A = this chain, B = another copy of it.
Amino acid sequence: MATMDKKNVSMNDVAIAAGVSLKTVSRVINEPDSVRESTRDRVHAAMETLGFRANFAARSLKLGRYGCIGVVMFHLSGGAVDMIDGIADAAEERGFALTMIKKRAGEKMTLAEAARRMSQLPVDGMIFNLRQMVDDFDTFEAPKDLKTVIITPMEHPTCSTVSDDQEGGARMACEYFLDHGHKNVYFVSGKKESLSSQCRMKGWRAALEARGIEPPEPLQGDWNADSGYAAGLVLADKPDCTAVLAANDYMANGVMVALRDKGLSVPDDVSVIGFDDELYKTIPNSILTSVKFRHRELGIRALNEVVAGLEAPSSRSRTLVSGVLVERASVRDLRA
């Protein structure tokens, strides 16, 4: 039957309806085994009838914790979906919900601001997803009582960080080229301000230098296929260009199309590797070899790191999630 609920139903209401004390109702919820079965049933019945739902605020106030992890999205891009997915699944598994806020488009947000806003919300710890540099990165200090994990390729002086190993992934791709007999590798970057792009470039550079090769001038892209196409047109005219590493698959595809438009074959004339392994969704029979990062795993690790640090918020660790080279047919073996 519909109950005339003018107000919210409290444990006290349930207690009265069931003819027991407030505390017994509490016990039915939190330690059911300590309540006699007949009593328990009576209480459950009363809860059902009245439509009782435990009050989150009162519970958290008493317990001193929320069971929520805050997530700050400084940037919400494509790869973010899988990461959120990982965070959310891991949270679920450990009995936490997520509280999310986002940097407003166009606005600037510092870590300090993010922390201040988060600490007004129901959170026991927090994750910052940071894909670009922020002004106060080095000086930021997390609240002492709120474990903070930053997802970023940069090391932070006091906070735990988690990241894909972007640099390592780029190095891996580069070495793959070199191991297949290529003497040099050209690079097409993403947007300048992107940390991912910067790290991928760094890894590319490092891999070449480690083998005593002078890295050629990188070509500037903007993540989209058209910018890759433009770069490809330039590269097609360079006789020494046998290998191109593009900072994502979209640009890699642009490069490939440009090369073909200029009469060159991939991989016979020029080999190409991209990042993120997304092209196969869009292009039938895609041949692009690509470095794939495990965003989902990244999210899981970030969440686990927060939860592990809840008791010791000032602990600090650094986690790198390695990438995987998905081999297809876009790289030619020049040996033999």
Contact = CB atoms under 8 A, between A and B. Distances in A.
A99 B101 contact: no
Nearest to A107: B92
- Identical copies of this chain, number: 2
Interface stretch (A40-48, A188-196, A204-212, A247-255): A247-255
Interface range, A side: 35 or more
A98 B97 contact: no
A61 interface: yes
B282 A68 contact: no
Contacts of A84: 76, 84
Interface in A120-154: 120-122, 143-145
A175 B9 CA distance: 54
A53 interface: yes
A283 B61 CA distance: 54
The CB with the most chain B CB atoms within 10 A, among A66, A104, A258, A283, is that of A283
Interface in A169-201: none
A279 interface: yes
Contacts of A61: 55, 57-58, 61
A66 B99 CA distance: 12
Given A57-B66, A61-B61, A85-B102, 9 more contacts: A53-B143, A55-B61, A56-B121, A68-B121, A68-B122, A84-B84, A97-B100, A98-B101, A257-B284
7 contacts: A89-B104, A97-B121, A99-B100, A99-B122, A226-B280, A250-B282, A257-B285
Interface of A: 5, 8, 51, 53-58, 60-61, 64, 66, 68, 71, 73, 76-78, 80-81, 84-85, 88-89, 92-93, 97-102, 104-105, 119-122, 143-145, 223-226, 228-229, 249-250, 253-254, 257-258, 278-286
